[in-house]
Amino acid sequence: MEKVKVLNHTFNNMSPNRNIHFELSERIILLRVFDNFFIILGLIVIGELFQFDYFLLSANNWYWIFVLLSYFNVFGTVLELYNLQKASRREQIFQNVVVVCSLTTLVFLLTPFFTPVLPDNRLQIVYFYLAVTLSVVGWRFCYIYFISSPRFYKNIVLVGTPDEIQFIGEAIKREAPSFRISGVLLLDTSIAKLNGYKVINPQRFFETIGERKVSEIIIASNEREDFPVGLTDRLILLLEKGIPIREYTQVYEELTSRVPLQYVGKDFYKYFPFSRSNQNQLYLFFSRVIDVLLSIIGLLLFLIWLPIVLVGNFLGNKGPLFYVQERVGKGGELFKIYKLRSMVVDAEKSGAVWAQQNDPRITPFGQFLRKSRLDEMPQFINVLKGEMSMIGPRPERPVFVKNLAKSIPFYEVRHMIKPGVTGWAQVSTEYGASEEDSLEKLQYDLYYIKHRSAFMDINIIFKTLSTILFYRGR
């Protein structure tokens, strides 16, 4: 008890003053709220300055603003306007805002059933477009200068062993540019320094927390036995004073949206409290309904593209249009998947091998099919048959599954739900072409199974559209 009083007295005399910062989720909300606010403000201002009567709000047409903001937020999400890394770059954000505002204005003008009738004076359209675009551009530049600047960085301290600190530190530097690692406290006191980090003197732990205005402490250690005597009391005191303390695998999962499998051991059950949506019958029912509806729409779109695909296949592929391949589905059950052929005939006559970047077996037209994701469209037949879902882990071939299950822990956990045409791994990482890539994909797949929800499904749909529009397929 006396020891705690001494620590408390030391901490109170230190008077820590944490800096103002914004969490990653708060930054996204901030961007969305103020994008919408400044669009409305810009239209009001231009309405006051000019004889602008195209977009005059009243009790009878208030819904116009709802339609406009809906268009803007949909296009902004698809075109990655709320990607925080891109939102911090001036040249990138200007380009993205102009494209999003241009699409928003165009669709708004072309849907007069929900929006104002086009004005006789076409200059009004120019005013409308400039009001929307300049308002968002101006606000986003203010965001970069003020909110995204170092003065609003979140100062954190890492406490742990060198390997774990390096692991979470690299993830923070890569995924969270608004976080600043203010120092590390090494549990192994025999190590005096760690490359790339400011090592904190254990005797000045409290003083350092206050001087560097630390807002959060991350524990990067797998074993509680690593903690030296007295450190737990200090951490509890910091927690009582309002400084959050979090475990590094949790932070890693939040930052990267994937499960850190390399740190999942015998206590794996702590990492896999899988989403209740996996057993929620209402969610599964509506997911199936949406699967069927989207598959029907997808097949109709495929029929529209079919003449072009037939000509391209005849000229560029020289062989069968479709190919059928065995894949592993839910519960390890095998099924036949349908795809458009993108490789030369008999591409695997010597046995199954991973597809590589710039794979010589891929035909020029096949490269187009992969980039545009047209080669995946016949899989809507698998979805209608109930063998696949629209969203889920990509189904892998039995020969690869057999090998990967031997070398990658928990690999077969991904078979607890139906495989998907698209999924969290597909929109978050490159095409898997090796065992290392499969490990990374599995981390994303398990994250999806763990956090599966209607909101996440919608997010994946938007990211899939973004992948197609930016021609990122492989």
Mean pLDDT of 28-52: 89
User: In this predicted structure, what is the pLDDT of residue 19?
Assistant: 65
In the chain the domains, ranked by start, together with CATH numbers, are 24-147 (no CATH), 153-256 (3.40.50.720), 276-469 (no CATH)
pLDDT 10s digits, 366-384: 888 888 888 899 999 999 9
Euclidean distance between CA atoms 379 and 153, whole angstroms: 45
* Residue 41: C-alpha distances to residues 73, 106, 146, 307 (Å): 16, 20, 20, 48
At residue 2 the predicted structure's pLDDT band, cuts being 50, 70 and 90, is very low
pTM of the model: 0.80
Work out the angle between the directed axes of helices 24-49 and 123-142 (0-180°, nearest 10): 140
* CA–CA separation, 366 and 388 (whole Å): 23
Q: Does the structure show a pLDDT above 50 at 1?
A: no
Dmax (CA) for the chain in angstroms is 85
Side-chain half-sphere CA neighbours of 417 within 13 A:
28
Read off the pLDDT band of 358 (50, 70, 90).
low
Output the pLDDT for position 303. Answer: 93
Please give the radius of gyration of the chain, using alpha carbons only, rounded to the nearest integer: 27
Question: What are the angstrom distances between the C-alpha of 454 and each of 285, 407, 445?
Answer: 12, 32, 16
According to the model, what pLDDT value does residue 60 have?
Answer: 76
What confidence tens digit (pLDDT) does each residue in 101-114 have? 999 999 998 888 88
Helices (H), 191-280: 205-211, 231-240, 248-256
Please write the tens of the pLDDT for every residue from 297-335.
999 999 999 998 899 888 888 888 888 999 999 999 999
Which amino acid type is present at position 260?
Answer: P
Give the rounded percent of residues in the chain with a pLDDT score beyond 70: 88
Please list, residue by residue across 186-203, b when 16 or more beta carbons sit within 10 angstroms of its beta carbon and e when fewer do: bbeeeeeebeebeebeee
CA distance 90 to 108: 26
**How is residue 48 written in tokens?**
């006051």
Task: Tell me the pLDDT tens digit for each residue of 330-346.
Answer: 999 999 999 998 887 77
**Worst-scoring range by mean pLDDT, 171-185, 265-279, 382-396?**
265-279
Q: Looking at 206-215, 235-244, 261-270, 424-433, which range is the least confident one?
A: 261-270
Look up residue 133 and give its two tokens: 């675009």
